[in-house]
Amino acid sequence: MRVLIGSSAEHVARIAADNVLAGLAHHGHGKNPVLGVATGSSPLGLYRELRVAVAEGRADFSNAQGFALDEYIGIPDTHELSYRQTLITEVCNTFGLPVSGLHTPRGMADSVEEIEAAAHAYDQAIKASGGVQVQILGIGSNGHVGFNEPGSALRSRTRIKRLAAQTRIDNARFFDGIEHVPTHCVTQGLGTVLEAGRLVLVATGEAKAEAVALAVEGPLSASCPGSVLQLHQDAVVVLDEAAAAGLK
Ligand code: F6R
């Protein structure tokens, strides 16, 4: 695992973008990028840097596919708070990954069985694409990656998960009150995430320091799902000073 510390939010974003592009070149030979994309605040600067790279001719996502990490259950994918719509704004409309190439787990169906079948098909679709070349990640203050909350199996696949109480509190800022935050989601499993060619995790701010320290230097444990990065051959963790404060 490589841990890189930026001196400002902009620096963190630039380092992360450089590592995404280098990862695509290495794992995808630069053609038809397959990118794993995260929602949330952490990758927003990175997405803006990818837009700069496209504008400067250093990157081209017009033939790319994107696989989202997760989606809420019970929010239609046309709703502005769905992760699909969020990613259309933050990924497709920012650096030009085509909407037709954006895959998001299915969070609405008539039955749990249908959602489970779609989750299984999602893992198959990732495989059929040739695999995610670079997976962008954030980390929750409780150590989750994707919505693999503490206690998630280290080899889990895309599936339904209940959101942890802390995650619902953290994400209430996007909703009109915590009671509107969904209770369940579909998330890529930790085993699914680990199959990507490179992982680029971005974390900033002191609220992430404890989770980062446990993920990077703690024991490999389901109680800190981010610790699975220790198992990956090509994991890059990009931090600001505040998020790195708990590292030895
Ligand atoms: C997002 C996701 C989550 C977030 C994490 C950090 O698709 O799966 O794991 O990356 O909750 O969120 P932010 O970046 O908003 O602090």
Predicted model pTM:
0.97
Please give the pLDDT value at position 68. Answer: 98
Instruction: Tell me which of 149, 170, 171, 240 is the catalytic residue.
Output: 149
ipTM of the complex: 0.99
pLDDT tens digits along 173-209: 999 999 999 999 999 999 999 999 999 999 999 999 9
Q: In what order do the strands lie in the sheet with 102-103?
A: 2-6, 235-240, 198-203, 134-137, 34-37, 65-68, 102-103
145 in contact with ligand 1, CB cutoff 6 A: yes
Segments making up each domain of the chain, as ranges:
2-203+212-238
Q: Quote the ligand 1 centre to 202 CA distance (angstroms).
A: 10
61 in contact with ligand 1, CB cutoff 6 A: no
Residue 29 has pLDDT above 90, yes or no: no
Query: What class has domain 2-203+212-238?
Result: alpha beta
Q: Which two tokens stand for residue 69?
A: 């990490």
Q: Quote the ligand 1 centre to 184 CA distance (angstroms).
A: 15
* Cα 85 to Cα 88: distance, rounded to the nearest angstrom: 5
Taking the CA of residue 137 as reference, the ligand 1 atom at the shortest distance is 10
pLDDT tens digits along 50-86: 999 999 999 999 999 999 999 999 999 999 999 999 9
148: three-class secondary structure by DSSP:
strand
